[in-house]
Amino acid sequence: MVTTISKLAGAAPGSLRSLTVAAWLGASLAGALASSASAETLTIALSSTVNTLDPTQAQVVGTDVSVATHLYSPLVARGPDGKLYGVLAENWQPEGDSAWLFNLKPGVTFPGGEPLDAEAVKWNIDRIRNPETKSRNRSWFDPVSEVEVVSPTQVRIKTKGPYPTLPDQLSMIFFLSPEWMKTHNPATEAYGTGPYKLKQFVAGDRLVLEPNDKAVLEKPTFDEVTMRVIPEASARVAGILAGEVDLAFDLPLEDVERIKKSGRADAGWVPSSRSMVVRMNTLKAPLAGNTKLRQALNYAVDKEGMVEAMLGGLGTVSQCQILTPAYFGFNQDLKPYPYDPAKAKQLLKEAGVTTPLKIELEVPLNRYFMASEIGQIVAGQLQEVGVEATIKEMDFGAWVKTYAGRDMGQMALLGQAWPTLDADGMLGLYAAANPTAYFDDKPFDEALKAGRGTTDPAKRLEAYKTATGRMCEEAPVIFLFAQPFTYGTSKKVTWKARGDDWVRATDVVKK
């Protein structure tokens, strides 16, 4: 089977790809010669488009949320070492099992002078919690009962019970100016207290940032930061080798070695917290209410062969869970579904499935590592057991709108990670109340509730052991692998490598 995978993985449309790269290089060369980037500029290549500048709606960490972290300030942030540090918050502590108190740094103001104080923090969190806002991040605050202003520099967030991961979750929340919001559109404009301010935003192409000279919480480290949308991996590699791009991600593994040997740039990889899965819509036929069918699809796919052939053995086959060992709550006891086509056929028969079964597989492009190739491999192996998967390739931005709009198809290839590195956030993506769950399982939800309902680490681990075990059994996804996170850097900079999808100029060090 490895041979089959290699053939498929090598079947990329080389001629079309070459044309794309040539076109990109041609378009960019003149600009590069004209700008002759100095050490004070930083160019970052994004693999997919920025969907929104509104942090209230931002969920994609590698693009939208990472952009927000340059423009706005959170209470806390997570560094490359995985630890939380205060940004707007000077310190924070729990108050019993039903509140967290945050002490804020004084004197922080928006560019126009209005204060970023406890009132502004409360306004922002209440806005996300308000159903009329239709914030995609509203579910993160379901456990919150009230936000109380104690003083201009103290805010208390009351919860319906223990919410031990609240500070972690707040690392993804950024604060807008209530006054500015009265007359502006945060989806296309920006006005914050982050280290940078918006200079130019060309949707689908680039975003240019310049230093926010009024920033007091985090200082800019570059005179200008440009984030360019370069969907084609080979074009990102070409940009790194040409010195036109200083930092790029999701590079093919074979190119990582090529870049390192070139002497013109650097590259590497780190373990990733992102799990690749084939998400199944368990609310739609034929996957709804048919556990044996979903299990059969897991037995039908050769995950080990995929990792060996496509990732050179650097990835890790998922242990029947979407968590990697980097997450609190990882269940060491679970084992992967083995590759067993005979078992898959048997389960299909027991499930009452008449083959060939026709099913649709959505594959969002230009976001996940070798997405098209992975989709082809999965479809090819499903066909071997009598499931004919029709691949529907889609632009990532267009796919996100259907996915977030509760309109995902029967199956979709998806990479999932959660920057808090806690099971509560990652597994919460499958809680029935989450708009992107596509899974409604009461025992699973109850286990998640138990994990969130205590601050006792041992009890939390036990709850997540139950939740991951239930998810393994019910198989709302085809568990694939945790991919390595590849990156390349120009000779101008070094990057504090991290595998949690955050893209921050503050993690880049000038040489």
pLDDT in tens, 3-19: 333 333 333 333 333 33
Residues 6+ apart with CB under 8 A from 209: 70, 71, 196, 197, 198, 199, 224, 225, 226, 227, 505
Tell me the mean pLDDT in the region 142-155: 96
- Please give the span between the terminal C-alpha atoms of the chain, in angstroms, as a whole number: 46
pLDDT tens-digit profile of 246-297?
Answer: 999 989 888 999 999 999 999 999 988 999 999 999 999 999 999 999 999 9
Give me the pLDDT at residue 138, please.
85
pLDDT at 38 over 70: no
pLDDT tens-digit profile of 410-467?
Answer: 999 999 988 888 999 999 999 998 888 999 999 999 999 999 888 899 999 999 999 9
Residue 304's pLDDT band, with cuts at 50, 70 and 90, is very high
Alpha-carbon gap, residue 491 to 511, rounded angstroms: 8
Asked if 45 and 230 touch (Cβ cutoff 8 Å), the reply is yes
Three-class HEC string of 43-77: EEEECCCCCCCCCCCCCCHHHHHHHHHHHCCCCEE
Alpha-carbon gap, residue 249 to 70, rounded angstroms: 18
C-alpha dist (Å) from residue 335 to 67, 158, 348, 450, 469 = 37, 39, 21, 24, 10
Alpha-carbon gap, residue 168 to 392, rounded angstroms: 36
pLDDT tens-digit profile of 325-367?
Answer: 989 999 999 999 999 999 999 999 999 999 999 999 999 987 7
Query: Among 158, 147, 90, 86, which residue's Cα sits nearest to residue 119?
Result: 147
Give me the pLDDT at residue 27, please.
41
Alpha-carbon gap, residue 436 to 60, rounded angstroms: 13
Give me the pLDDT at residue 280, please.
98
Residue 406's pLDDT band, with cuts at 50, 70 and 90, is confident
Q: Calculate the dihedral angle through the C-alpha atoms of 250, 252, 255, 260, rounding to the nearest 10 degrees.
A: 40
Give me the pLDDT at residue 370, please.
83
Tell me the mean pLDDT in the region 158-174: 93
Helices then strands, each counted (H, E), the chain: 15, 19
pLDDT tens-digit profile of 95-113?
Answer: 998 999 999 999 999 999 9
CB half-sphere exposure, 182, CA atoms < 13 A: 3
Cβ neighbours around 299 below 10 Å, total = 22
pLDDT tens-digit profile of 112-126?
Answer: 999 999 999 999 999
pLDDT at 397 over 70: yes
Give me the pLDDT at residue 382, please.
98
Is pLDDT larger for residue 37 or for residue 266? 266
Alpha-carbon gap, residue 226 to 505, rounded angstroms: 10
Alpha-carbon gap, residue 291 to 281, rounded angstroms: 12
pLDDT tens-digit profile of 485-509?
Answer: 899 999 999 998 888 889 999 999 9
